Amino acid sequence: MSLAIDYPTVTREQYERDGFVILNRPLIPSGLLQRAIEGMDAIRRGEYDTGRTPQPSVWNPGDDPNALCKIEMPQMANRAILELVSHPAIGAAAAAATGAHTVQVWWVQLLYKPCLPPGVTAKTNVGWHQDRHYWGQWEPGSELLTAWVALSDVTPSSGPMVFVRGSNTWGLQRGSDFFAQTDIRSSFQSPAGKTWEETPAVLPPGGFSLHHNLTIHGSGPNMAGAPRRGFAIHLRTDKSKPVGDKREGLTAFIDDPSACPVIYRA
Ligand SMILES: O=C(O)CCC(=O)C(=O)O
């Protein structure tokens, strides 16, 4: 068995131009993916193998199984998930996209989007938003991006994330609403000469995308017949700083390597 790491090829030019990169081949080993899926299911049941809990979340064990399940900082509560978010292919891809010397995980979200049974309605969409809208605890200009790792086959019908090409250059807008269930596209404005062009992040299990903190994105319902499973791994580079150098809220754990590992160093 080969333990060689499959490092993806990512160009900085593409990341800076489009605001995202889609690495649509398996880069995370299948054994680790399987253990992380088991970890995801354990956390959804409220079972934690590290002895630590996730951070306060909108979805908690026992909540509606048909709603979007979003659990904050699952890697604190499960060893396999910590191993997954620490995978060197993710750090190497983020470093190649940004030219960074250092890449650190600073926050993680478990995202489990169920496929709804016929006739059932539940909140499973992710409304159009820019991540930066929610990240005021970082100094302006901080280099922050997200790796979204697929644990299941993410197809056009399973409610993939959809990116608006080039919107990373449109500035911070006012329309973001992660929890919107209706079409809020008209609350964003494309600058003169730019058009709203959507690209779905179709990924096999073990593939991942990277997106810039200003890239507009959202996702629709899952009609694929199986849950859509992924982790949003929020990353910072050496060109980032918490406001006032504070450690609170979203920056509370950045000095704790068992929650926020450094996953790339030049
Ligand atoms: O999982 C989704 O559909 C959206 C995730 C997201 O908003 C993000 O990774 O920034």
**How much distance in Å is there from the Cα of 93 to the middle of ligand 1?**
18
Rounded Cα distance between 148 and 183, Å, is 23
* Token pair in block for residue 104: 């650190």
User: What average pLDDT does the segment 13-23 reach?
Assistant: 97
List CB contacts of 260: < 8 A, sequence separation 6 or more. 104, 105, 106, 107, 253, 254
Query: What 3-state class would DSSP assign to 205?
Result: coil
Protein residue with least CA distance to atom 8, ligand 1: 232
pLDDT of residue 117: 87
Q: Domains (ranges, CATH) in the chain?
A: 12-265 (2.60.120.620)
> Quick check: 2 pLDDT over 60?
no
pLDDT at 185: 97
Q: Stretch 217-233: mean pLDDT, rounded? A: 97
| Cα 1 to middle of ligand 1, angstroms | 34
Residues with CB under 6 A from ligand 1: 111, 126, 131, 146, 148, 161, 217, 219, 230, 232
Cβ within 8 Å of residue 147, ≥6 positions away: 90, 93, 94, 208, 209, 210, 232, 233, 235
Confidence class of residue 1 from pLDDT cuts 50, 70 and 90? very low
Distances (CA, A) of 209 to 26, 184, 189: 11, 23, 24
| Mean pLDDT, residues 63-67 taken together | 96
Nearest CA to ligand 1 atom 6: 232
In the numeric block, which tokens belong to residue 206?
């073990």
CA angle 102, 260, 69 (to 5 degrees): 125
Task: Please say if the pLDDT value at position 40 is more than 50.
Answer: yes
Q: Select from 124, 219, 250 the residue to mutate for testing ligand 1; criterion: most ligand atoms less than 8 Å from CB.
A: 219
User: Ligand 1 centre from 2 Cα, in Å?
Assistant: 32
Mean pLDDT of 125-141: 98
pLDDT of 106 = 98
d(CA 161, ligand 1 centre) in Å:
6
Interval between CA 100 and ligand 1 midpoint (Å) = 23
Kindly state the percentage of the chain with pLDDT values over 70: 99
**What is the residue-averaged pLDDT of the chain?**
96
Quick one: average pLDDT of 22-50?
98
CA of 77 to the centre of ligand 1 (A): 21
Q: How many CB atoms lie within 10 A of CB 248?
A: 10
**With pLDDT > 90 as the criterion, what percentage of the chain qualifies?**
94
Q: How confident is the model at residue 121 (pLDDT cuts 50, 70, 90)?
A: confident
254: pLDDT strictly greater than 50: yes
Q: Which of the four pLDDT bands, split at 50, 70 and 90, describes residue 3?
A: low
Average pLDDT over residues 74-81: 98
Atom of ligand 1 nearest to the CA of 131: 10
Closest residue by Cα to atom 7, ligand 1, is 218
SS3 97: helix
Task: Pick from 217, 228, 233, 235 the residue to mutate for probing ligand 1's pocket: most ligand atoms within 8 Å of its CB.
Answer: 217
Closest atom, ligand 1, to C-alpha of 161: 3
CA–CA separation, 65 and 9 (whole Å): 37
Distance CA 91, CA 241 (A): 18
pTM listed for this prediction: 0.97
